């Protein structure tokens, strides 16, 4: 398949009347950037090029655009192409960080790098509707999208004549991204390299959500997907499964600190804290993902309920030093929005009051899925 060469600039010069044409222009630009970024990382790590990277990213681009005979174009506003590409990018960075801190016999090889890419780019494809399904946007699949994603990956990789063992590993890795279930690694995911790959992709999925510079601004799109799923599913059955039913976008915003404290932090722990290998990747004592997460939580201006002294700043300090200068720089890049509250709270006060209570016994489903991260640059050392 050929790469689409339309750019955002050329798209602005045309009057496109449908979302598919608009996606074609912007996706072409995003697609080329990600292929370039991942190829660069791969070449630096393994000293060679991989045609599979081009094929995988370009084909997933066509899936999201609606060019596959089996699927409509992606129509949801939250679980988009850019999100899965951001998950892929974060996962690849963690692989490099892992390799730089382990001996050769414990490093992840180029085949495992490609398996990670395939797992990441297919992990939310279950939101894309089947061909000729004109009901809703695909948000209705929110609570079954993981199994649909695995099936999409399996069908595609079989056509690409991947080995059965590699296909099974990709599908098992995708299964670990199920947000409504606790992490439960079994079979080949309990040993090297399956365990490391699954934990890396699962961690990347969380970071791509929480580090998004537009995290709060994208919550209305997530709420719209959930609303569609509520209408499609039996709400009482969802409640019996422990699914949190949200009544409004504001409720989701208000519960973001608890989501981070009670869901994200314990899940990062369950996934082996693979996020720490990003520190090795960046290699400058900083972790831009954690800095962005810190910024998003700072913007919320925690209420008195969250101002606890327990395990103060533990996660942020373990994940990499976050200086006040780094926070101010990140805050300067944040969009101006009515959702963000004006605050005179200082960074030092914020760090002192930040809650990191690791409560692994709480697996209540909170916010699920992942929004897209902000504008990607061609600098492989930054994610936004």
What is d(CA 58, CA 30) in angstroms, rounded to the nearest whole number?
11
220 CB contacts (<8 Å, ≥6 apart)? 249
pLDDT-based confidence at 34, cuts 50/70/90?
Answer: confident
* Closest by Cα among 270, 329, 126, 293 to 208: 293
What is d(CA 298, CA 341) in angstroms, rounded to the nearest whole number?
9
Residue 355 has pLDDT above 80, yes or no: no
What is d(CA 219, CA 296) in angstroms, rounded to the nearest whole number?
13
* Closest by Cα among 208, 197, 169, 165 to 296: 208
Q: What is the pLDDT of residue 99?
A: 97
Residues 134, 135, 138, 143, Cα dihedral to 10°: -150
Q: What is the pLDDT of residue 328?
A: 54
| Between 294 and 250, the higher pLDDT residue | 250
Instruction: Average the pLDDT over 92-111 and give the result.
Output: 96
| Between 7 and 352, the higher pLDDT residue | 352
Residue 353 has pLDDT above 70, yes or no: no
Domains of the chain, CATH where assigned:
8-353 (1.10.1300)
In three-state secondary structure terms, 27 is helix
What is d(CA 306, CA 263) in angstroms, rounded to the nearest whole number?
15
Identify the weakest region by mean pLDDT among 54-63, 66-75, 354-363. 354-363
On whether the pTM is more than 0.85, the answer is no
What would the pLDDT profile of 5-24 be if each residue is shown by its tens digit?
Answer: 222 232 223 333 344 444 45
Instruction: Average the pLDDT over 278-283 and give the result.
Output: 89
What would the pLDDT profile of 283-310 be if each residue is shown by its tens digit?
Answer: 876 788 888 888 777 776 544 344 433 3
Task: Kindly write down the DSSP assignment for every residue of 116-147, as one continuous string.
Answer: HHHHHHHTTGGGSPBTT--SSSSGGGTTTHHH
Q: What is the pLDDT of residue 74?
A: 96
What is d(CA 203, CA 274) in angstroms, rounded to the nearest whole number?
7
Residue 191 has pLDDT above 90, yes or no: yes
Instruction: Average the pLDDT over 120-124 and give the result.
Output: 97
Instruction: Average the pLDDT over 219-235 and give the result.
Output: 92
Q: What is the pLDDT of residue 312?
A: 30
| Between 27 and 267, the higher pLDDT residue | 267
What is d(CA 331, CA 328) in angstroms, rounded to the nearest whole number?
5
Q: What is the pLDDT of residue 326?
A: 54
Q: What is the pLDDT of residue 179?
A: 86
Most confident range, picked from 115-129, 201-215, 306-320, 347-361: 115-129
Q: What is the pLDDT of residue 2?
A: 30
Residue 159 has pLDDT above 80, yes or no: yes
Residue 327 has pLDDT above 70, yes or no: no
Q: What is the pLDDT of residue 214?
A: 85
In three-state secondary structure terms, 32 is helix
| Between 375 and 314, the higher pLDDT residue | 314
Q: What is the pLDDT of residue 143?
A: 92
Q: What is the pLDDT of residue 381?
A: 30
Residue 188 has pLDDT above 90, yes or no: yes
What would the pLDDT profile of 98-107 be if each residue is shown by its tens digit?
Answer: 999 999 999 9
Instruction: Average the pLDDT over 226-251 and give the result.
Output: 89
Q: What is the pLDDT of residue 257?
A: 80
Residue 370 has pLDDT above 90, yes or no: no
Structure tokens that stand for 138 in this block? 């695909």
Q: What is the pLDDT of residue 18?
A: 47
The answer to whether the CB of 142 falls within 8 A of the CB of 225 is: yes
Instruction: Average the pLDDT over 337-364 and give the result.
Output: 36
pLDDT-based confidence at 28, cuts 50/70/90?
Answer: low
Average pLDDT, the chain: 76
């Amino acid at each position: 398949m050929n790469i689409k060469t339309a750019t955002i600039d050329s798209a602005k010069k045309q009057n496109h009347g449908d979302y598919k044409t608009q996606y074609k222009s912007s996706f072409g630009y995003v697609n080329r950037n990600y292929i370039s970024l991942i190829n660069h990382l791969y070449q630096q790590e393994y000293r060679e090029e991989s045609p599979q990277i081009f094929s995988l990213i370009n084909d997933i681009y066509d899936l999201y655009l609606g060019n596959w005979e089996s699927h409509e174009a992606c129509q949801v506003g939250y679980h988009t192409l850019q999100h899965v590409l951001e998950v892929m990018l974060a996962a690849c960075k963690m692989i490099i960080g892992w390799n730089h801190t382990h001996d050769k016999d414990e490093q992840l090889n180029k085949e495992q790098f490609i398996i990670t890419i395939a797992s990441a780019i297919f992990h939310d494809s279950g939101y894309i509707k089947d061909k000729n399904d004109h009901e809703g946007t695909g948000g209705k699949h929110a609570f079954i999208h993981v199994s649909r994603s695995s099936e999409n990956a399996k069908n595609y990789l079989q056509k690409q004549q991947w080995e059965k063992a590699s296909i099974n590993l990709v599908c098992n890795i995708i299964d670990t991204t199920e947000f409504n279930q606790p992490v439960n690694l079994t079979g080949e995911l309990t040993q090297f390299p399956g365990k490391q790959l699954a934990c890396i992709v699962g961690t990347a999925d969380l970071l791509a959500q929480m580090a998004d510079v537009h995290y709060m601004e994208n919550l209305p799109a997530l709420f719209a997907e959930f609303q569609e799923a509520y209408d499609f599913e039996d709400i009482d059955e969802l409640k019996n499964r422990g699914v949190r039913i949200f009544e409004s976008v504001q409720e989701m915003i208000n519960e973001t600190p608890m989501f981070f404290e009670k869901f994200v932090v314990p899940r990062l722990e369950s996934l082996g804290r693979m996020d720490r290998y990003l520190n090795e990747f960046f290699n400058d004592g900083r972790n831009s993902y954690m800095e962005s997460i810190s910024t998003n939580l700072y913007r919320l201006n925690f209420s008195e309920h969250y101002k606890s002294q327990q395990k103060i700043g533990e996660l942020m300090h373990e994940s990499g030093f976050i200086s006040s200068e780094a926070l101010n720089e990140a805050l300067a890049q944040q969009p101006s929005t009515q959702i963000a509250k004006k605050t005179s709270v200082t960074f030092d006060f914020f760090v002192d009051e930040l809650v990191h209570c690791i409560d692994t016994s709480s697996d209540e489903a909170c916010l699920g899925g992942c929004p897209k991260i902000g504008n990607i640059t061609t600098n492989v050392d930054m994610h936004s």
